[in-house]
Amino acid sequence: MSDSRIVVVGTTSDYIDHIRRNYPGRALFITDPQERARAAEAVPESYEEVLTGLNNFNHVLETLRQHLNLYGMKPAGVACYDCESLGLSAYLARKLGLMFPSENSIKLSRNKFFSKNLWQQAGLPCPAVILVRDLSDMLQFMDKIGKPLIIKPLTGAGSELVFKCSDHDDCRKAFETIKSQMITRRKLRLYHSEDIKSAGVKPLKEFAAEEFVEGTEYSCDFMIETDRLEIFRIARKINAHDQSPGTVMAYVVPAGLPDNIDYEQFKLLLANAAHIMGLKHAVCMVDFIVHQDNICLLEITPRPGGDCLPRLISYSFGLDMIGLALDFAEGKPVFIPEALHREAFVGLRILAKCSGIIRSIDEHAIVRDSRVRECHILRSTGHKVIFPPDDYESRLLGYVIFKPASSECIEQECLEIESKLVVDMEDSPWKSMQAH
């Protein structure tokens, strides 16, 4: 009997380690050699991992097939946790005859202009959007709608290279910044993707501009199977006001919708939004804003939410979204814990306050806080913090999972816990916690 494995495409070493420890023998990892070289976790056995560059889809497929034949393995499904690997995952699934969202649905959902343009045509609530080829496109759009704009890459993720523009001068600065920054990112798979290029756009030279919508931002994981949709979790985002636009300071799980938003109508909206992207069998994440008690869709992607969300969801109601995605890929039933067993937890992302090189970092005061369940510091002595727009990752120092003392002052509790991190940085005034 052959060894059946779920093919996990292009994920990070921490997810690989989690899967190996919690679901041994279930996955075969396709990993970028650069990701493996910088990993701190244990190296998988040779039969568990295919090390190959991920840009050439045909080469990845042939390398995978050789590995499967060598070890007598059979692919049981395809799972993906990373935006930049979705296109490759769809290609491999099609070639191997496995279930996964189609290449066309990946193209549509990953493109910040295509997705909103299709939603608009279908009458679904989302920000007005245009494709930006030059500065005049932005200026004319701003004058037409009479509102601030958000400009972002077509295929980016998170807050990276996202700019809010309130006037023409902001537009000029943001356009020049994003244009120059995209040149430095031209080799990154997140931005330079063959499946996006084939759609007739230039992801390195063309951008999306959309109207700015004021409101509370949320994130949601759900599963769609033909006409059935089940929501796993809704998280409320707390933005970091001292960081670049769109930067999340914390997530709160579970998060309820305002009382006058009908839950079943919300599920129907998600189903329609997914179907328009061609997503009929997928685990998805959607970002949306509640504006004046109305839903405004931002983006949808066929993968579960990342960052500190998996750990947060696990603490809140005992669901492992990483393992759930494996079960779904393999066609196994997925279990969703009942809402009444959920407890409120917060996932706090600890962000550096300035650039510089870390001399020392001490989280003991955070760990001693009775509210804290987990504190995971990612950086150590010698780490160099570079601020946006040149770098968006290095400022993330770690994350904390805590149970808030009150639902009324969560943002204040976040700031209080964050202030307990003691950091000494070279040539920087940011040296210690507020109460030293």
DSSP H or E segment with residue 358 = strand 356-362
Provide the 3-class DSSP secondary structure of residue 392: coil
**Dihedral pair phi/psi, residue 182, rounded to 5°:** -65, -25
Pair 11, 80: CB distance under 8 Å:
yes
Query: In the predicted model, is pLDDT for residue 336 greater than 90?
Result: no
Q: Mind listing the pLDDT tens digit for each residue in 395-404?
A: 999 999 999 9
Work out the pLDDT band at 193, boundaries 50, 70, 90: low
Q: What is the predicted pLDDT for the residue at 155?
A: 86
DSSP-H helix ranges across 130-256: 135-145, 168-184, 194-197
Mean pLDDT, range 139-157, rounded to an integer = 93
The single-letter DSSP state of residue 434 is S
The single-letter DSSP state of residue 124 is -
Dihedral of alpha carbons 180, 248, 279, 281, sign: positive
**Token code pair at residue 234:** 């809704």
**Dihedral pair phi/psi, residue 229, rounded to 5°:** -135, 130
Query: In the predicted model, is pLDDT for residue 124 greater than 90?
Result: yes
Query: Structural domains in the chain?
Result: 3-100 (3.40.50.20), 128-211 (3.30.1490.20), 214-343 (3.30.470.20), 344-436 (3.30.470.20)
**Token code pair at residue 407:** 């639902």
Q: How many CB atoms lie within 10 A of CB 41?
A: 15
Q: Mind listing the pLDDT tens digit for each residue in 87-115?
A: 999 999 999 999 999 999 999 999 999 99
Q: ∠172-173-176 over CA atoms, to 5°?
A: 85
Mean pLDDT, range 346-373, rounded to an integer = 96
Residue spans of beta strands (DSSP E) within 59-165: 73-79, 129-132, 149-153, 163-165
Q: Which residues of 261-291 are buried (b: 16+ CB within 10 A; e: fewer)?
A: eeeeebbebbbbbbbbbbbebbbbbbbbbbe
Question: Counting runs of H as helices and runs of E as strands, what totals does the chain give?
Answer: 14, 19
Here the contacts of 234-241 (C-beta below 8 Å, separation 24 or greater) are 235/305, 235/309, 235/312, 238/410, 238/411, 238/414, 240/349, 240/351
Least confident of 24-28, 206-210, 331-335: 331-335
Q: Mind listing the pLDDT tens digit for each residue in 165-183?
A: 999 999 999 999 999 999 8
Query: In the predicted model, is pLDDT for residue 195 greater than 90?
Result: no
Work out the pLDDT band at 192, boundaries 50, 70, 90: low
Query: In the predicted model, is pLDDT for residue 380 greater than 60?
Result: yes
Query: What proportion of the chain, given as a percentage, has pLDDT over 70?
Result: 94
Q: 30 - beta bridge partners?
A: 9, 50
- CA 394 from chain centre, in angstroms, equals 16
Query: In the predicted model, is pLDDT for residue 190 greater than 60?
Result: yes
Q: Mind listing the pLDDT tens digit for each residue in 279-308?
A: 999 999 999 999 988 999 999 999 999 999
Work out the pLDDT band at 242, boundaries 50, 70, 90: confident
Query: In the predicted model, is pLDDT for residue 356 greater than 80?
Result: yes
**CA distances to 95, 118, 287 from 299, in Å:** 27, 12, 5
Query: In the predicted model, is pLDDT for residue 197 greater than 70?
Result: no
Q: What is the predicted pLDDT for the residue at 430?
A: 55
Q: What is the mean pLDDT of the chain?
A: 92
More confident residue, 91 or 202: 91
Work out the pLDDT band at 56, boundaries 50, 70, 90: very high
Q: 376 - beta bridge partners?
A: 399
Q: Are strands 27-31 and 3-9 parallel, antiparallel or unpaired?
A: parallel
**Token code pair at residue 254:** 């579970």
Cα separation, 180 vs 190, whole angstroms: 16
Q: 356 - beta bridge partners?
A: 385
Mean pLDDT, range 55-60, rounded to an integer = 96
DSSP H or E segment with residue 373 = strand 372-377
Work out the pLDDT band at 433, boundaries 50, 70, 90: very low
Q: Which residues of 149-174 are buried (b: 16+ CB within 10 A; e: fewer)?
A: bbbbbbbbbbbbbbbebeeeebbeeb
Q: Which residues of 61-92 are buried (b: 16+ CB within 10 A; e: fewer)?
A: bebbeebbeeeebebbbbbbbbbbbbbbbbbb
Q: 345 - beta bridge partners?
A: 253
